[in-house]
Amino acid sequence: MQRIARHRTFTGALLLALGAALVPTAGAQATVSGTIFTCTDGQGRKLTSDRLIADCVGREQRVLNRDGSVQRIIPPTMTADERADFEAREQRRNAEAKAQQEAIRRDRNLVQRFPNENVHTKAREAALDDIRKSVQTSELRLKTLATERKPLMEEAEFYVGKKMPAQLKQHLDANDAATEAQKSLVQNQQSEIGRINALYDSELARLKKLWAGAPHGSLGPLPNAAAPASAVASPIKAAKQ
């Protein structure tokens, strides 16, 4: 019986030893799976692990394949200030890239809309046509107001040194207010004509460079689009009322 017991004990110990020999270490598991992390710390020591190495958190770490080739490189972990600076740079780069793409798109659309100077000139005239008509309308209104004012002034001459009738004074005041409104409107319309012409001049200068072969998006900011004629039509209606 003792012999049998000793035999069983020996067999069990042998199996345990074989089992231990068959279990791979953590490093061996890393070699099999390919997740080997390696870096050089601040003291110049080369460190290896099966996970990110805490001593190299501020240094570059490499992930190696089974054959020792580099699978990928993990950059150093940034400090809060470094990350904020990095994110700010990324935002600037993204904004610049987006602006460049938008400039290219707008230049492309501009050339498609105006393939030559004749088409651009017609567009300028169309943009100016309504506002020029508005100026003419305002000037005609000023002439009408001047005609209406003449008999009112002739009547007012009878009341020099006397109290003017309330109705006559009301008519004169209304005529004065309407005249000032129309004069202000004409001045604004003339300024708008100058603004539209300046925009089309700037746009034409850009188009000439694009027609000559300048790359889209290479000429800086584009001028704003000319204001539609409807934008200056409403003040005229308001003045008439």
Instruction: Assess contact for 134 and 236: CB atoms under 8 A.
Output: yes
Q: How far apart are CA 110 and CA 120, in angstroms?
A: 10
Instruction: Assess contact for 217 and 141: CB atoms under 8 A.
Output: no
Q: How far apart are CA 235 and CA 220, in angstroms?
A: 35
15 pLDDT exceeds 90?
no
Angle at 144 between CA 142 and CA 145, to 5 degrees: 65
Q: How far apart are CA 172 and CA 170, in angstroms?
A: 5
195 pLDDT exceeds 60?
yes
What is the reported pLDDT for 58? 84
Q: Where are the domains of the chain?
A: 2-74, 101-240
Please identify which residue in the block is written with the tokens 């061996």.
Answer: 28
- Chain centroid to Cα 25, Å, comes to 55
pLDDT 10s digits, 19-62: 333 333 333 333 345 579 999 988 899 999 998 898 888 889 99
Q: What is the mean pLDDT of residues 198-203?
A: 95
136 pLDDT exceeds 50?
yes
Q: How far apart are CA 102 and CA 177, in angstroms?
A: 47
Q: How far apart are CA 172 and CA 169, in angstroms?
A: 5
What string of DSSP letters covers 113-164? H-SSHHHHHHHHHHHHHHHHHHHHHHHHHHHHHHHHHHHHHHHHGGGTTSPP
Instruction: Assess contact for 178 and 148: CB atoms under 8 A.
Output: no
Instruction: Assess contact for 114 and 120: CB atoms under 8 A.
Output: yes
Q: How far apart are CA 107 and CA 216, in angstroms?
A: 5
Q: What is the chain's Cα-based Rg?
A: 43
Instruction: Assess contact for 58 and 77: CB atoms under 8 A.
Output: yes
The structure tokens listed for 238 are 């308001």
The structure tokens listed for 51 are 């996970």
pLDDT 10s digits, 215-230: 999 998 765 543 333 3
What is the reported pLDDT for 139? 95
pTM summary value: 0.56
Q: How far apart are CA 222 and CA 202, in angstroms?
A: 9
